[in-house]
């Protein structure tokens, strides 16, 4: 069986799915690999009897998460097939993302802060593609931004007084933007500010024509929060292209509250949001402490960007 994916950077939404509708039916012939390292392709252990483990950094005594073919994010113009022995090497480590021919020029060699805008129409107008990072306050957004550009304090720019409620543009390699949006769910922010934030970021999501994908950051060290689910749902309902970035995946110790490991929280979150999307959104597990997921995010951004530029 060969599965060919159509362009899917826009996700259709089912607000009220029929009870019998199965969003992600299990494929009849699941597949398996024991490692999904991108850079040094491991010998494939693909068999046709078990699902693919999604990550190869579990501790030896911990069960591995597995992923089935229908839960992969397959970029446009990319084919996957159950009997493709190289499939495991084409899945980005700690993610559900299959690499496409557009995954190139991923390295960050230059990064600079460009401007802070309070309205979408004030954002840079040079037409370069961009990715917006958004998430709950304290989710690790600044840490991730610094890790992506390998600079210790670049994201501090966004935390300066007067900039925290702005759309902050950072130009990368003179060819694309990383955009830092204000954190949401900040309990002590005045209601008025929270409303404003909602208004202007939502306007940005809907009207920014150069926005390739929103990267929604979710803290994988704690159980899913209602506000994150609402946010993912809003993006889905408005067909805003979204990639889920699970942060703090290095926090492996059991917590009193929920007591789940990052992999379990990641799985739970996806189950909770699957009804908002017709196709599975791409997701990546990350840690700014270990730099897990850093190269994978950059490769994913590269393939989305290069496809966007060509179409
Ligand atoms: P922001 O408010 O979303 O910009 O979050 P920050 O980047 O400022 O991080 C909030 C807190 O989480 C800080 O104490 C960070 O040190 C911590 N943090 C951020 N990323 C990680 C991570 O990947 N792993 C762990 N263990 N802590 C993190």
pLDDT: which is higher, 26 or 56 = 56
Ligand 1 close to Cβ of residue 138 (< 6 A): yes
pLDDT digits (tens, 9 = 90+) for 94-147: 999 999 999 999 999 999 999 999 899 999 999 999 999 999 989 999 999 999
Neighbours of 61 (CB within 10 A): 5
Which residue, judged by its Cα, is nearest atom 15 of ligand 1? 140
Q: How many CA atoms lie within 13 A of 163 on its CB side?
A: 14
Q: Which atom of ligand 1 is nearest to the CA of 286?
A: 23
Which residue, judged by its Cα, is nearest atom 24 of ligand 1? 248
What distance lies between CA 303 and its chain's CA centroid?
A: 13
Per-residue pLDDT at 171 exceeds 70: yes
Per-residue pLDDT at 29 exceeds 90: no
Position 126 scores a pLDDT of 97
- Is-contact 193 165, C-beta < 8 A? yes
Q: Which atom of ligand 1 is nearest to the CA of 145?
A: 7
pLDDT digits (tens, 9 = 90+) for 45-70: 223 234 444 444 444 444 455 788 88
Ligand 1 close to Cβ of residue 293 (< 6 A): no
Which residue, among 210, 214, 235, has the nearest Cα to 308 in the 3D structure?
210
Residues 6+ apart with CB under 8 A from 247: 135, 139, 140, 141, 143, 144, 217, 218, 219, 220, 221, 286, 287, 288
Q: Among 92-106, 166-180, 247-261, 262-276, which is the least confidently predicted range?
A: 247-261
Parallel/antiparallel/unpaired status of strands 283-285 and 211-219: unpaired
pLDDT digits (tens, 9 = 90+) for 101-116: 999 999 999 999 999 9
Per-residue pLDDT at 162 exceeds 80: no
Which residue, among 42, 61, 276, 265, has the nearest Cα to 52 in the 3D structure?
42
Count Cβ neighbours within 10 Å for each residue of 125-140 and write b for 16 or more, e otherwise.
eeebbbbbbbbbeebb
Ligand 1 close to Cβ of residue 248 (< 6 A): yes
Domain ranges of the chain: 91-251+259-310
How far apart are alpha carbons 103 and 303 in whole angstroms?
A: 4
Ligand 1 close to Cβ of residue 289 (< 6 A): yes
Mean residue pLDDT across the chain? 77
How far apart are alpha carbons 167 and 104 in whole angstroms?
A: 27
Classified by CATH at the fold level, domain 91-251+259-310 comes out as: Rossmann fold (3.40.50)
Distance 292 CA to ligand 1 centre (A): 14
pLDDT: which is higher, 242 or 198 = 242
Distance 194 CA to ligand 1 centre (A): 22
Position 10 scores a pLDDT of 39
Distance 81 CA to ligand 1 centre (A): 38
Distance 176 CA to ligand 1 centre (A): 25
How far apart are alpha carbons 65 and 146 in whole angstroms?
A: 29
Cα dist from 145 to 95, 181, 304, whole Å: 19, 11, 18
How far apart are alpha carbons 230 and 236 in whole angstroms?
A: 10
Pocket test for ligand 1, best of 288, 290, 292 (most atoms within 8 A of CB): 288
């Amino acid at each position: 069986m060969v599965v060919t994916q159509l362009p899917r950077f826009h996700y259709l939404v089912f607000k009220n799915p029929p009870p019998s509708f199965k969003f992600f039916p299990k494929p009849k012939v699941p597949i398996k690999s024991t490692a999904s390292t991108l850079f040094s392709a491991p010998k494939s252990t693909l068999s046709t009897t078990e699902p693919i483990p999604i990550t190869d950094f579990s501790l030896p005594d911990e069960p591995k998460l597995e992923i089935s073919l229908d839960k992969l994010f397959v970029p446009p113009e990319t084919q996957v097939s159950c009997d493709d022995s190289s499939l495991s090497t084409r899945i980005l480590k700690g993610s559900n993302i299959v690499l496409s021919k557009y995954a190139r020029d991923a390295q960050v060699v230059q990064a600079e802060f460009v401007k802070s805008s309070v309205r979408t129409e004030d954002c840079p107008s040079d037409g370069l593609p961009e990715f917006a990072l958004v998430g709950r306050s304290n989710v690790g957004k600044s840490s991730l931004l610094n890790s992506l550009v390998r600079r210790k304090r670049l994201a501090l720019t966004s935390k300066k007084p007067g900039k925290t409620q702005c759309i902050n543009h950072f130009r990368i390699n003179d060819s694309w933007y990383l955009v830092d949006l204000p954190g949401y769910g900040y309990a002590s922010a005045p209601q008025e500010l929270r409303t404003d934030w909602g208004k202007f970021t939502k306007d940005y999501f809907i009207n920014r024509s150069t926005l390739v994908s929103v990267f929604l950051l979710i803290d994988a060290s704690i159980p899913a929060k209602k506000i994150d689910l609402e946010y993912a749902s809003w993006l889905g309902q408005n067909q805003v292209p979204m990639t889920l970035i699970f942060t703090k995946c290095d926090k492996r110790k059991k917590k009193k509250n929920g007591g789940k490991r990052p992999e379990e929280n990641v799985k739970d979150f996806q189950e909770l949001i699957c009804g908002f999307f017709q196709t599975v959104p791409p997701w990546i597990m990350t840690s700014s402490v270990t730099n897990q997921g850093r190269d994978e995010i950059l490769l994913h951004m590269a393939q989305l960007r290069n496809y966007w530029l060509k179409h």
